[in-house]
């Protein structure tokens, strides 16, 4: 496995751990635990900055453009009409979840609690299937079909990006949030 695919698959595992936290936090709400708005804001922060900016960022900047450019129609369908559309749907869930949290904080009505559950679980379900498709289809296709030169180029860009993000403490920060929430909800 190449460096970047291994790195992104590891991130998928971390994202999947957060999806389980989200699921358990939603079950807690259904079982009448109070909504911890701060915890849900941390989930939104993780979704936006780790799953989206950090992880989808590498896919969108380094991997997907090369696939679309070099691998023809199949890659275009998989990426442009598949993965990128799903990234956008995830952003929409994150935005609607943030709005539902704002509304609930101002006015803790059942209606807004329902919106929190809907958007959080909508995101969790979307991302679970998205991760499976990338692990089993998209990444495998890229590794099998791209040239060693293209794969090496993607690796070099990913390594540089990981180092820059590491120097800012991004990965450690979001893994810290994940571990705190796992201790509380799992």
Which residues are at the interface with Fe ion (CB under 5 A)? 59, 83, 134
Nearest residue (CB) to Fe ion, 7 versus 101: 7
| Whole-number Å distance between alpha carbons of 66 and 55 | 17
CA-atom Rg of the chain in angstroms: 18
Nearest residue (CB) to Fe ion, 115 versus 134: 134
Q: In this chain, which residue has its C-beta nearest to Fe ion?
A: 134
Smallest distance from Fe ion to CB 55, Å: 6
DSSP E strands, the chain: none
Q: Copy the structure tokens of residue 16.
A: 């999947």
**Residue the block writes with tokens 């990426």:** 79
Smallest distance from Fe ion to CB 51, Å: 8
Nearest residue (CB) to Fe ion, 74 versus 114: 74
Smallest distance from Fe ion to CB 84, Å: 8
CA distances from 21 to 15, 136, 146 (A): 10, 23, 35
Nearest residue (CB) to Fe ion, 19 versus 100: 19
| Whole-number Å distance between alpha carbons of 65 and 88 | 16
Nearest residue (CB) to Fe ion, 67 versus 83: 83
Q: Is residue 36 a contact partner of residue 57, using CB atoms and an 8 Å limit?
A: no
Q: Copy the structure tokens of residue 172.
A: 């450690």
Smallest distance from Fe ion to CB 171, Å: 15
The closest alpha carbon to 122, from 141, 143, 96, belongs to: 96
Smallest distance from Fe ion to CB 29, Å: 27
């Amino acid at each position: 496995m190449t460096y970047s695919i291994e790195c992104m698959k590891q991130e998928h595992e971390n994202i999947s751990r957060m999806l389980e936290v989200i699921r358990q936090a939603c079950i807690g709400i259904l079982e009448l635990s109070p909504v911890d708005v701060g915890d849900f804001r941390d989930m939104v922060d993780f979704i936006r900055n780790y799953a989206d900016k950090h992880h989808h960022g590498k896919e969108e900047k380094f991997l997907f453009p090369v696939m679309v450019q070099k691998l023809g129609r199949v890659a275009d369908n998989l990426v442009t009409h598949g993965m990128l559309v799903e990234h956008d749907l995830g952003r929409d869930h994150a935005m609607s979840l943030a709005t539902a949290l704002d509304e609930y904080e101002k006015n803790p009505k059942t209606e807004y609690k329902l919106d929190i559950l809907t958007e959080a679980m909508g995101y969790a379900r979307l991302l679970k299937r998205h991760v499976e498709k990338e692990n089993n289809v998209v990444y495998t296709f890229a590794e099998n079909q791209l040239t060693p030169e293209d794969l090496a180029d993607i690796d070099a860009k990913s390594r540089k990006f990981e180092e820059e993000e590491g120097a800012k403490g991004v990965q450690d920060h979001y893994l810290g949030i994940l571990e705190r929430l796992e201790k509380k909800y799992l």
